[in-house]
Chain A
Amino acid sequence: DAKTTQPPSMDCAEGRAANLPCNHSTISGNEYVYWYRQIHSQGPQYIIHGLKNNETNEMASLIITEDRKSSTLILPHATLRDTAVYYCIVRENFNKFYFGSGTKLNVKP
């Protein structure tokens, strides 16, 4: 099973880039890496996903290493509203998500 390891918490100054790392050393070739975030008392919100190439959308960028064993989510200009728990996820199989414990990102003024 491909599972993920993330730091339990990180701090970031408002306006600066937030770089959230994720280790997924047992990922298999056809498993995508997904990032979701969860603000307190709400459901997880999709951010971005990728297979092997770097990806960018209006919310964030995803950098996946060449060996695919780790990735980094980049929030280019963090705001206070980005304070949340960020989950790095790989598919356990074709039908299930495995959510780890995530990283609590604290954006400070």
Chain B
Amino acid sequence: KAGVTQTPRYLIKTRGQQVTLSCSPISGHRSVSWYQQTPGQGLQFLFEYFSETQRNKGNFPGRFSGRQFSNSRSEMNVSTLELGDSALYLCASSPRPITTNEKLFFGSGTQLSVL
């Protein structure tokens, strides 16, 4: 069974631009969650989608948005990029909505550099 696939693997953008990242979950998984990882802040939750609906959102500005398609693939968009948005963006999938007893399967991430 294929794992979680994130594309692209690396991305370089300049300030003010926008970017779209893609995540394909494991087949049959309907929950996709997104995380930002930086050396200073560690790994922080962005949002979770299940059955095309956003279930939860972390403490990030509205420039960060996402969506999920009927095939459970998800995209994350960041508009008006800032230098501080440089990070590894990870997505994770699970069969059901994230609960206290649900394992997450992570992709390898998209490394975004904002110049």
Contacts and interface: CB of A to CB of B under 8 A. Distances in A.
Chain B binds chain A:
yes
Interface in B67-115: 90, 92, 97-101, 103-109, 111
B62 interface: no
A43 B56 contact: no
A3 to B, nearest CB: 11
A36 B107 CA distance: 13
B32 interface: no
A15 interface: no
B1 to A, nearest CB: 15
A69 to B, nearest CB: 18
A80 to B, nearest CB: 21
Contacts, number: 58
Chain A: interface size category: 20 to 34
Contacts of B97: 95
Nearest to B48: A95
B55 interface: yes
A96 B58 contact: yes
Interface of B: 4, 35, 42-45, 48, 55-56, 58, 90, 92, 97-101, 103-109, 111
